[in-house]
């Protein structure tokens, strides 16, 4: 496949010829010429040799599809420091939803409060390259306009909303505080947020009651938003499906569409995958608007502080640091974690990453058990010391999904793809580099769990529909020119647990807003991404 330039008297910017167009709707592919004028696409069948173009791309033997939309991205801060975003743009991702898991970065009253939150959350979302200097969504989104490689959509996390209305403490919100939080939701939605996200294992958002979340969701629903939720694992003691049943209760009573994120069977023998999928199917049959996303590798990833008792964060960063250094608190932490909390049991088998201090680099990719042996400490003691040394920013990766049933979630008609990618550390989850091409290589081509047009729909028009993006996710006349050209017979990823930071193969071209960002497999350096705001179709 070759690309060549035409003369300056052309009428269009890019002309893509001889490729099979799979338009994102789920319909079968067809052969057509795809034209790009500015940031807009048009589709033409038949002979179009008379149409002049500044550039023609010959897509013989390749598929031409809409750019992929990642509905679960942790790139909101790290992309500011690495704007070319190679791990994701090379997968064909052209739009990302940030602010997920209840952890977003506006609104805040003071810069100090914002920076404290970034520090608390740094093991999940990292740091910006410079100190955070924004407070509102408008100020934050301005940092992305043609300064990063992909389009950015923002969803409002309930943690900053709770800090805004209640503070950092674990206590019920008063009626006045809930009214204040509703106002924060309303104003941020009016600035362009796409809905409300929750991360109910992450303080301080985890301190919110079901009733509080219903109130906030109702406010988001009034402005057309949806509820995107990392559910509350502490409810598992009430039953296998209790965390997701709470999410559906919030949807019913808040009158808001529900999206269950990183939805999967956590381990073999933990119920049946049919229990999880049946919950969604029954809710849809009931008349609810419910969807989910899943990632395509069995490995999870999150901030390591998720394993600590929640009381250690009751009061914010200062309280957590005191708990990690105070003798009595350390004894209590050691006692509670040694009693077998599930997060700690998992952590002992996980590997850790994102060690920023030079003297700790050798720990990257090792479990806390292995690291403790290296340091001559007990595991909990080593973890507490490392969190202080690393300013809380350690991440953990684990086998967090039953690989035997993962295909049932990837192929389910109510499911779409979300990478949940953490883009830092030497040993991130391999999904950070391979989530989307793995759909094409394994779930479509090798295992035939779903057909190619349906797989593309799950990565393009379905997430656009879920979010409410009106002019992306489909190759259709007048839609925005976010385009991926890939070799369906040879696309693959080689990213693995042992070697995760490997770019995919077979995706030679990626176009964002009409600008070629990946050109014959190389990054052009074009920063064509834009912030996409709800209620503004032509951003």
pLDDT at site 202: 98
pLDDT at site 375: 97
Instruction: Please spell the DSSP secondary structure of 207-233, one letter per residue.
Output: G--HHHHHHHHHHHHHTT-EEEEE--G
Taking the C-alpha atoms of residue 223 and residue 190, their distance in angstroms, rounded to an integer, is 8
Contact between 178 and 210 under an 8 Å Cβ cutoff? The reply is no
For residue 349, what are its two tokens?
A: 């088998």
CA dist 239 → 232, 234, 235, 426 (Å)? 12, 10, 7, 37
199 alpha carbon, distance to own chain's centre: 12
- Beta-strand relationship, 151-154 and 531-532: parallel
For residue 8, what are its two tokens?
A: 């300056």
296 alpha carbon, distance to own chain's centre: 13
| pLDDT tens-place string over residues 378-404 | 999 999 999 999 999 999 999 989 999
pLDDT at site 5: 42
Contact between 204 and 168 under an 8 Å Cβ cutoff? The reply is yes
Would you call 453 helix, strand, or coil by DSSP? helix
Tokens 């290296």 locate to 374
For residue 23, what are its two tokens?
A: 């338009």
Contact between 317 and 119 under an 8 Å Cβ cutoff? The reply is yes
Taking the C-alpha atoms of residue 374 and residue 382, their distance in angstroms, rounded to an integer, is 10
pLDDT-based confidence at 7, cuts 50/70/90? very low
The answer to whether residue 291 scores a pLDDT higher than 60 is yes
Taking the C-alpha atoms of residue 392 and residue 322, their distance in angstroms, rounded to an integer, is 12
Per DSSP, 174 falls in state: P
Domain 68-301+400-469 belongs in CATH node 3.20.20.140: yes
pLDDT at site 278: 98
The answer to whether residue 219 scores a pLDDT higher than 90 is yes
pLDDT-based confidence at 257, cuts 50/70/90? very high
User: What is the pTM (predicted TM-score) of this model?
Assistant: 0.96
Half-sphere exposure of residue 120, counting CA atoms within 13 Å on the CB side? 29
Q: Where are the domains of the chain?
A: 68-301+400-469, 302-399
Residues 6+ apart with CB under 8 A from 305: 120, 123, 313, 320, 387, 392
Tokens 């679960």 locate to 72
Compute the average pLDDT of residues 275-285. 98
Taking the C-alpha atoms of residue 122 and residue 389, their distance in angstroms, rounded to an integer, is 13
H/E segment holding residue 13: strand 12-17
Closest to 252 (Cα-Cα) out of 278, 294, 289: 289
| pLDDT tens-place string over residues 468-520 | 999 999 999 999 999 999 999 999 999 999 999 999 999 999 999 999 999 99
| pLDDT tens-place string over residues 42-74 | 999 977 778 899 999 999 999 999 999 999 999
Taking the C-alpha atoms of residue 88 and residue 2, their distance in angstroms, rounded to an integer, is 23
pLDDT-based confidence at 8, cuts 50/70/90? very low
The answer to whether residue 223 scores a pLDDT higher than 80 is yes
Would you call 344 helix, strand, or coil by DSSP? helix
Contact between 373 and 330 under an 8 Å Cβ cutoff? The reply is no
pLDDT at site 339: 73
338 alpha carbon, distance to own chain's centre: 32
Taking the C-alpha atoms of residue 307 and residue 467, their distance in angstroms, rounded to an integer, is 31
Taking the C-alpha atoms of residue 532 and residue 539, their distance in angstroms, rounded to an integer, is 6
CA dist 7 → 2, 112, 537 (Å)? 17, 54, 33
| pLDDT tens-place string over residues 149-205 | 999 999 999 999 999 999 999 999 999 999 999 999 999 999 999 999 999 999 999
pLDDT at site 349: 78
Ramachandran quadrant class, 314 (left: phi over 0; alpha: psi -120 to 50; beta: rest): beta
Taking the C-alpha atoms of residue 385 and residue 323, their distance in angstroms, rounded to an integer, is 11
Taking the C-alpha atoms of residue 438 and residue 435, their distance in angstroms, rounded to an integer, is 5
CA dist 258 → 61, 195, 289 (Å)? 39, 10, 6
Contact between 538 and 527 under an 8 Å Cβ cutoff? The reply is no
Ramachandran quadrant class, 198 (left: phi over 0; alpha: psi -120 to 50; beta: rest): beta
For residue 449, what are its two tokens?
A: 């769990």
Burial of residue 402 (CB within 10 Å: 0-12, 13-18, 19+) is buried
Per DSSP, 440 falls in state: I
Q: Which residues, in sequence order, are bridge partners of residue 509?
A: 485, 519
Q: Across the chain, what does the average pLDDT equal? A: 95
Per DSSP, 480 falls in state: B
Q: What is the CA radius of gyration of the chain?
A: 23
59 alpha carbon, distance to own chain's centre: 30
């Amino acid at each position: 496949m070759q690309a060549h330039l035409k003369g300056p008297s052309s009428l269009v910017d890019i002309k893509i010829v001889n490729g099979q167009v799979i338009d994102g709707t789920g319909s079968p592919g067809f052969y057509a010429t795809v034209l790009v004028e500015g940031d807009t696409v048009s589709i033409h069948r038949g002979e179009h040799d008379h149409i002049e173009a500044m550039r023609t791309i010959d897509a013989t033997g390749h598929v031409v599809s809409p750019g992929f939309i990642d509905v679960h991205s942790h790139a909101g801060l790290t992309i500011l420091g690495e704007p070319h975003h190679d791990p994701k743009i090379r997968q064909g991702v052209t739009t990302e939803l940030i602010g997920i898991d209840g952890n977003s970065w506006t609104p805040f009253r003071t810069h100090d409060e914002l920076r404290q939150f970034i520090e608390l959350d740094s093991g999940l979302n990292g740091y910006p390259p410079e100190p955070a200097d924004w407070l509102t969504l408008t100020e934050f989104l301005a940092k992305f306009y043609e300064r990063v490689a992909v389009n950015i959509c923002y969803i409002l996390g309930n943690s900053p909303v709770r800090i805004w209305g209640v503070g950092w403490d674990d206590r019920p919100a008063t009626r006045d505080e809930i009214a204040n939080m509703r106002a924060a939701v309303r104003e941020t939605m009016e600035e362009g947020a796409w809905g409300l996200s929750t991360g109910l294992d992450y303080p301080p958002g985890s301190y919110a009651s079901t009733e509080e979340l219903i109130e906030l969701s109702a406010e988001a629903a009034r402005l057309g938003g949806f509820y995107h939720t990392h559910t509350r694992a502490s409810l598992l003691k009430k039953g296998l499906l209790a965390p997701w049943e709470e999410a559906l209760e919030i949807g019913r009573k808040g009158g808001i569409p529900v999206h269950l994120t990183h939805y999967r069977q956590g381990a073999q023998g933990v119920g049946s995958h049919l229990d999880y999928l049946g919950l969604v199917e029954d809710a849809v049959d009931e008349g609810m608007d419910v969807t989910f996303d899943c990632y395509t590798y069995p490995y999870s990833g999150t901030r390591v502080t998720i394993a600590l008792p929640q009381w250690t964060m009751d009061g914010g960063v200062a309280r957590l640091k005191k708990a990690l250094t105070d003798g009595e608190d350390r004894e209590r932490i050691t006692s509670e974690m040694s009693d077998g909390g599930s997060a700690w049991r998992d952590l002992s088998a996980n590997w850790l990453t994102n060690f920023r201090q030079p003297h700790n680099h050798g720990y990257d990719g090792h479990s806390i058990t292995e690291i403790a042996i290296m340091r001559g400490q007990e595991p909990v003691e080593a973890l507490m010391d490392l969190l202080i040394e690393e300013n809380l920013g350690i991440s953990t990766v684990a086998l967090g999904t039953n690989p035997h049933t993962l295909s049932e979630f990837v192929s389910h008609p109510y499911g779409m793809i979300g990478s949940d990618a953490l883009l830092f550390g030497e040993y991130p989850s391999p999904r950070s580099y391979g989530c989307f091409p793995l759909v094409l290589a394994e779930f479509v081509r090798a295992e035939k769990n779903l057909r190619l047009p349906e797989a593309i729909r799950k990565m393009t028009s379905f997430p656009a529909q879920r979010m409410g993006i009106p002019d992306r996710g489909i190759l259709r006349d007048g839609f925005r020119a976010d385009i991926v050209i890939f070799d369906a017979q040879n696309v693959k990823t080689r990213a693995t647990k042992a070697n995760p930071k490997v770019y995919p193969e077979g995706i030679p071209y990626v176009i964002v807003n009409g600008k070629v960002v990946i050109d014959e497999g190389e990054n052009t350096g074009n920063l064509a991404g834009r912030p996409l705001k709800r209620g503004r179709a032509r951003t």
